Amino acid sequence: MMTERIPVLVTGGKGMLGSALALEAARFPRLDVRAPGREELDVRDAGALAGWADWVRGGWIVHCAARVDVEGCAREPEEARRTIVEGTTNAVALARQAGARFLYPQSFLVYDGRTNPIAEDETPRPLSLYGELKYEAEKVVTAALPEATIVRMAGFFGGEASDKNFVGRIIPVMQAAMARGETRFEVGTRIWQPTWTRDLAYNTLLLLSRGGSGHYQMACQDAATFADIAHEIVAALGWSERLEIVPVDASAVSGSELGRRPDKAVLSCARLKAEHLDLQRGWRPTLHAYLDHPFFDQYRLESTR
């Protein structure tokens, strides 16, 4: 006798985390995961979301849709609010209408990094508008859905062409620097936990399948500076003979940013560990596994010309 599959609607399904959830869903046969992108489901449109009520009834909503560009949020605050806060309000309304459970992936940028490691009961104190809006959206969730699952995640990489975070942005910039004949490249020493979206997605779906609720934190097993990551990228792409990574103090970089970020943010994942649900790995092996993807061959080829 077949067990009825559990419907799981992933908003923002074509984004970095949403697309990883769609890929990892194959490892959870009891979950029927649908991950529409913004073109198919704009969370700013309450009516469009309400149209999913019958399908997701009694299942889960994983609300990934957000504007993740910290600088862009600072430049266009009203548009950012529409997507992050109003979009979340609409998704919460859908959950209430459909009697669905709700999982909200949250950013580590709700924290200011005043204390490290950051405990799960730490009070968020965002430094940027993006962080403020994400925290406001979280409060919308918890006020309306007390049993919701909030997963505060470290900064991540993933999605190849859709990678809008540090790894995805720095590779073409370093490539362009080499094309100009530069041999040294300065990168800041801000400390974070670079975590592969595939690991986050698998761990999130496991948590969901176990019915977890309340607050969790999720991050790779160790930490690194941005300079450490850049150095590893150079090694992985075969650029070591052509480009030297030069670490510079984080303050040298932060002065030009529109949105402030903590100089160090390392999450404690105590609850995941206590419940034997922490499946995160170290950042080095996962970064190399990510960069093995054929998408990055265009950069490896450049290194041998």
pLDDT digits (tens, 9 = 90+) for 179-207: 999 999 999 999 999 999 999 999 999 99
166 inside domain: yes
Tens of pLDDT along 138-155? 999 999 999 999 999 999
Q: Does 213 share its domain with 177?
A: no
Across all residues in the chain, what is the average pLDDT? Answer: 94
Q: Which residue is associated with the tokens 């800041």?
A: 188
Exposure string of 45-67, with b = 16+ CB inside 10 Å and e = fewer, is: ebeebeebbeebeebbbbbbbbb
Question: Do 22 and 142 reside in the same domain of the chain?
Answer: yes
The answer to whether residue 1 is domain-embedded is: no
Tell me: do 238 and 128 sit in the same domain: no
For residues 129 and 258, state if they share a domain: no
- For 38-65, what is each residue's pLDDT tens digit? 999 999 999 999 999 999 999 999 999 9
Tell me the pLDDT tens digit for each residue of 238-253: 999 999 999 999 776 6
pLDDT at 303: 43
* Alpha-carbon gap, residue 16 to 215, rounded angstroms: 22
**C-alpha angle 135-167-305 in degrees, rounded to nearest 5:** 165
Any domain includes 233: yes
**What is the number of alpha carbons within 13 Å of residue 53 lying toward its C-beta?**
14
- For residue 137, tell me if it sits in a domain: yes
CB-based contact 289:234 (threshold 8 Å): no
List pLDDT tens digits, range 72-112.
999 999 999 999 999 999 999 999 999 999 999 999 999 99
Same domain, 44 and 123: yes
Pairing mode, strands 191-192 and 31-34: unpaired
173 and 293 together in one domain: yes
CATH number (domain holding residue 111)? 3.40.50.720
Dihedral of the alpha carbons of 290, 64, 112, 249, in degrees to the nearest 10: 30
The string of pLDDT tens digits covering residues 249-268 is 977 665 556 668 999 999 99
Same domain for 152 and 65: yes
Running DSSP on this structure, what letter comes out for residue 264?
Answer: B
- How many independent structural domains does the chain possess? 2
Q: Assess if residue 200 is contained within a domain.
A: yes
Residue 73 sits in the same domain as residue 114: yes
**Shared domain check, 43 and 142:** yes
Look at residue 240 and tell me if it is in a domain.
Answer: yes
> Could you tell me if 141 and 239 lie in one domain?
no
Q: Looking at the domain assignment, is residue 14 inside a domain?
A: yes
Tokens of 39: 């073109």
Phi, psi of 195 (to 5 degrees): -125, 130
Q: In terms of domains, do 186 and 169 share one?
A: yes
Question: How far is Cα 7 from Cα 18, in angstroms, rounded to an integer?
Answer: 15
Same domain? 215 vs 72: yes
Asked if residue 143 belongs to a domain, the reply is yes
- Domain boundaries, position 200: 6-159+196-222+264-282
Total count of residues recorded for the chain = 305
pLDDT at 1: 45
Residue 2 has pLDDT above 60, yes or no: no
